[in-house]
Amino acid sequence: MQIIEKCFMGLSICLFLTTISYAQTKYERAVFAGGCFWCMTLPFEKLNGVLIVVSGYTGGEAENPSYEDYAEKGHLEAVEVLYDPTIITYSELLDVFWRQIDPTDPAGQFCDRGPQYRSAIFYQNQEQKLLAERSKEALGKSGRFDKPLVTELLHASSFYKAEDYHQDYHKKNPIRYKFYRSSCGRDQYLQKIWGGAMHKKQDLKKKLTPLQYKVTQEGGTEPAYQNEYWDNHREGIYVDIVSGEPLFSSTDKFESGTGWPSFIKPLEPDNIVEKQDNSFFMKRTEVRSKQGDSHLGHIFSDGPAPGGLRYCMNSAAFRFIPKEDLEKEGYGKYKILFEKKK
């Protein structure tokens, strides 16, 4: 109980927690540093399964830091999240964390500069450490950022609750809070990086199969010859499983002998984004959808003439619309591709 009373003293939830042993409860803790702790409270506080979010200081060696001396004592501004793992998982909290910060900035966050504002994940145990490592690795491979991720993964140490006027700052000073986020550049940056995503990850996990999610959101690759469209010979178009944007046509599909659906060119080039992929000690060109930001596959230069390109795609990233369904599915303008010339 010492930890809970130390971190949540003075808050209403402590009245409940002090009546039972913390070891007997089902709740768990997560600690994240993402620059100014004012901006890190609200995103977690509104999540289903989160009981309370506390602003505080952690990461340093000196005890009992205050707002006046926490930086010189080596602490970071951070938030501690008390959550119910039967309702929301640690992985889901990690997804929310990444969407609040610039993980490529080693010297602070947005207009707040200095080591006390750097981003970090403070893991409580080996399970959290492993999940944090996997999450960071997947985000690094996603191609969303042009620079390497520098967010630190650190073992959790003592967490010290910040002064009362720092708690729930967004509620006490809503106008100043919104102005601070905007004037500091945080909101603009997050909109630029994440605004193009069509769905939140939690919604996608419900909508997609595990394989579709792994491929489109985590840059995975499905097994060759064991996927839905590698041997599909029907006429129609292939659209993004996430956003529905048209990507490829059966008129440009060819037998590559690789076990994955392959195309000589995209149906709508403007819906395709190409990014350099240096993972697995290889230099390749990744293909992603523009609106859905889904990982689709890679481009290779061993395709047929005249272009010589092979768009090697994952079936799990697609939904196939046969030509007879194009009109009712809202893709009627592509019917002309399959009309026989007289």
Name the residues annotated as catalytic: 36, 312
Q: Tell me the C-alpha to C-alpha distance, in Å, between residue 102 and each of 146, 152, 182, 257, 275.
A: 12, 12, 15, 42, 20
- Spatial distance between the Cα atoms of 271 and 282, rounded to a whole number of angstroms: 25
CA distance 7 to 162: 9
Encoded amino acid at 325, one letter: D
CA of 208: how far to CAs of 203, 211, 240, 241, 318, in Å?
9, 8, 12, 8, 11
Distance CA(229)–CA(252), nearest Å, equals 14
Helix intervals (H) in the chain: 2-8, 13-17, 38-45, 90-98, 126-141, 169-172, 174-183, 186-194, 201-207, 210-218
Euclidean distance between CA atoms 310 and 295, whole angstroms = 16
Helices (H), 201-257: 201-207, 210-218
Helix (H, G, I), strand (E, B) or coil at 153: strand
